[in-house]
Amino acid sequence: MTSSSAFLRRLVKPAVLAAVLFFIWGIAICGVAIWAQSTDESTPQLPGVSRHRGVSQPPDEDAATAQQRRDMAKKQNLKRQQDLKKDTDKLLELATQLKQYVDKTNENTLSVEVIRKAEEIEKLAHSVKEKMKGQ
């Protein structure tokens, strides 16, 4: 158990923190890209073709309905972006807590709290990844 706890301590400290910080950086970059796409209103649009992924709109859809759909999509993107920011802030907080727990342990102790924090970070990171995909 001594060697495994020392190994876990050496592994968790730099690898998890580096991965979490890199992940947060990636989310920030993706957030800017999502924001840029959602605010792009200057692109010319062909009749009957949506600005989003080339999906055709029904020709009888009036301008008010189309505007309402765009507004709803924009609100959904904004909410998703806010959720991503909140979750990445939480990831940073958890990573900091994990580092503090690891710093308190020594080579002879393996804290259950360290494992729980690592699992919590993993779950939240997976959730953030799915939100980035738009699922």
- 7-to-13, 26, 55, 94, 97 alpha-carbon distances in Å: 10, 28, 52, 21, 19
DSSP annotation of 54 reads T
pTM, 2 dp = 0.51
Side chain identity, residue 123: K
Cβ atoms 132, 27 nearer than 8 A: yes
DSSP annotation of 13 = I
Average pLDDT over the chain, rounded to whole?
Answer: 75
Could you read off the pLDDT of 37-86 as tens digits, one per residue?
665 555 555 555 555 555 555 555 688 898 999 999 999 999 999 999 99
Helices (H) and strands (E) in the chain, counts: 4, 0
CB 117 within 8 A of CB 101: yes
Q: Has residue 88 got a pLDDT over 80?
A: yes
